[in-house]
Amino acid sequence: MTHYDVIIIGGGAAGLMCAAKVGARGRSVLLLEHNKEVGEKIRISGGGRCNFTNIHCGPNNFISGNKHFAKSALAGYTPRDFIALVDAHKIKWHEKTLGQLFCDDSANQIIGMLRAQCKAGGVVTKLQTEVLHTHKTDEGFAVTTEKASYDCTALVVACGGPAIPKMGASGFGYKIARGFGLGVIEAEPALVPLTFTDGFKGALQDLAGLSQNVDISLGKTRFTEAMLFTHRGLSGPAVLQISSYWSPGQSILINLAPQVDMAAAIRKARGEHPKQSPAVFMGGFMPQKLAAYVVRDTPKSRLADLSNKEMAVLAERVNRWAVKPAGTEGFRKAEVARGGVDTKGLSSKTMEAKAVPGLYFIGEVVDVTGHLGGHNFQWAWASATACALAL
């Protein structure tokens, strides 16, 4: 049985980062990945350009059963630290909206950077390797794969969650956690499109493909970004963001014109352009098809003919459009999972299991879910670094 100081299960963002940093510390490291290549989620992220971090990333950009858990790791390894690493490898990048950073060229550059660091640290990588069993030993841990058995002093679980199963994602990391007696918060799809019942879905069919900047809210949680109408419901950044907070049975509020007090705008237009139709007026704030949907049962052909009640109804539809999703597109379309290994059982400083010394959980497998826009990658880099520094 071959021995390593550290065995890492999962060659995604967190696993690669941790392996590179542990290898740089002079430890012997074995990285086990069941896919044909490492970093598959990195490869497809950001439209193939990898939204590798967000300059505004902080604890408030994460959902967790313990809202304070991510603070230590995020403070220990910041977006500026990862940017410095990217710059050192001469990877060109650019900033998009809301602090999101992308490679100018390709996500493969981030994978190449991490692989190069792993190689420099002497990390041994085994691809297309399924882990069959893990257990505690007197000296550490034993890991059995379909090809061989290994033992190690420390075991790091970095195999993500069940989002995007077509890429091999699963809840295997949760199985390992439960096997060692750790709690797991039931995983749910997050950053995922929302779907609607057939009746409402049918009414929106003509709007499929339209995009509109909106303010979307659920309780006190609010995002202002683009929303996309689909054949099954709603998507786009704003909807993906709110989906991480949504639970079945809840309604969400959508403001289709966030910068406009529509009641005041309608009153003003009725006085200045009384002959203008409601549809044409609404078309000044949104795509014409969406405007037609908003005024769909307004029989009046002129703004001048609208009653105060009719104006109030139209304003409400625009500034406070309440919709109740039927569900989500599920893990097949979710970018991440909400839930995971319960942080109550982990050290926030090292990611080590409190009851099982030498066992660590990092990245998406942990109950820490970031907002859209590079935050989940920053959690991967930060949690991996916190773990690596303890090994």
- 141-168 per-position pLDDT tens digit: 999 999 899 999 999 999 999 999 988 8
**For residue 297, what pLDDT band results from cuts at 50, 70 and 90?**
confident
The domain boundary, picked from 329, 353, 374, lies at 329
Buried b (16+ CB within 10 A) or exposed e, 183-208: ebbebbbbbbbbbbeeeebeebeebe
- What per-residue confidence (pLDDT) applies to 168? 86
**For residue 202, what pLDDT band results from cuts at 50, 70 and 90?**
confident
Residues 342 and 316 in one domain: no
Residues 11 and 92 in one domain: yes
Q: Is the pLDDT of residue 200 over 90?
A: no
Structure token pair of residue 239: 């909807």
What mean pLDDT comes out for the span 11-36?
98
Question: Which CATH number goes with the domain that contains 26?
Answer: 3.50.50.60
User: In terms of residues, how long is the chain?
Assistant: 391
Domain total in the chain: 2
Say how far apart CA 308 and CA 229 lie, in whole Å: 30
Residues 265 and 351 in one domain: no
DSSP state of 216: E
In the chain, % of residues over pLDDT 70:
100
**Residue entry with tokens 């990245």:** 363
Q: Is the pLDDT of residue 201 over 80?
A: no
The domain boundary, picked from 329, 349, 374, lies at 329
Under 8 Å between Cβ of 162 and 175: no
- What per-residue confidence (pLDDT) applies to 239? 98
> What radius of gyration, in Å, describes the C-alpha atoms of the chain?
24
The domain boundary, picked from 284, 304, 329, lies at 329
Tell me which amino acid residue 9 is: I
What mean pLDDT comes out for the span 90-96?
97
- What per-residue confidence (pLDDT) applies to 352? 98
Q: Is the pLDDT of residue 110 over 80?
A: yes
- What per-residue confidence (pLDDT) applies to 298? 86
Cα–Cα separations (whole angstroms), residue 341 to 142, 173, 180, 182, 362: 21, 8, 11, 7, 9
- What per-residue confidence (pLDDT) applies to 310? 92
Residues 124 and 268 in one domain: no
In the chain, % of residues over pLDDT 90:
93
Residues 137 and 108 in one domain: yes
Please provide residue 167's backbone torsions phi and psi, each rounded to the nearest 5 degrees.
-100, 15
DSSP state of 166: G
Residues 12 and 79 in one domain: yes
The burial class, CB within 10 Å (0-12 / 13-18 / 19+), for 363 is buried
Residues 236 and 292 in one domain: yes
Residues 118 and 231 in one domain: no
Q: How far is CA 53 from the centre of its chain?
A: 12
Buried b (16+ CB within 10 A) or exposed e, 376-391: bbbbbbbbbbbbbeeb
Residues 181 and 287 in one domain: no
- What per-residue confidence (pLDDT) applies to 1? 83
What mean pLDDT comes out for the span 234-252?
97
Mean pLDDT (the chain) is: 96
Q: Is the pLDDT of residue 206 over 90?
A: no
Residues 161 and 250 in one domain: no
Q: Is the pLDDT of residue 301 over 90?
A: no
Choose among 223, 224, 227, 222: nearest CA to 212.
227
Say how far apart CA 58 and CA 100 lie, in whole Å: 13
- What per-residue confidence (pLDDT) applies to 299? 77
3-state SS, one letter per residue, for 65-105: CCCCCCHHHHHHCCHHHHHHHHHHCCCCEEECHHHEEEECC
- What per-residue confidence (pLDDT) applies to 17? 98
Question: Which CATH number goes with the domain that contains 257?
Answer: 2.40.30.10
- Element at 254 (helix H, strand E): strand 252-255
Structural domain boundaries enclosing 268: 193-329
Residues 9 and 29 in one domain: yes
Secondary structure of residue 281 in the 3-state scheme: helix
Say how far apart CA 159 and CA 309 lie, in whole Å: 56
Under 8 Å between Cβ of 99 and 54: yes
- What per-residue confidence (pLDDT) applies to 197? 84
Full-model pTM: 0.95
**For residue 199, what pLDDT band results from cuts at 50, 70 and 90?**
confident
30: left (phi > 0), else alpha (psi -120 to 50), else beta?
beta
**For residue 203, what pLDDT band results from cuts at 50, 70 and 90?**
confident
Alpha helices (H) in 284-361, listed in sequence order: 288-294, 308-319
Under 8 Å between Cβ of 45 and 101: no
Residues 180 and 205 in one domain: no
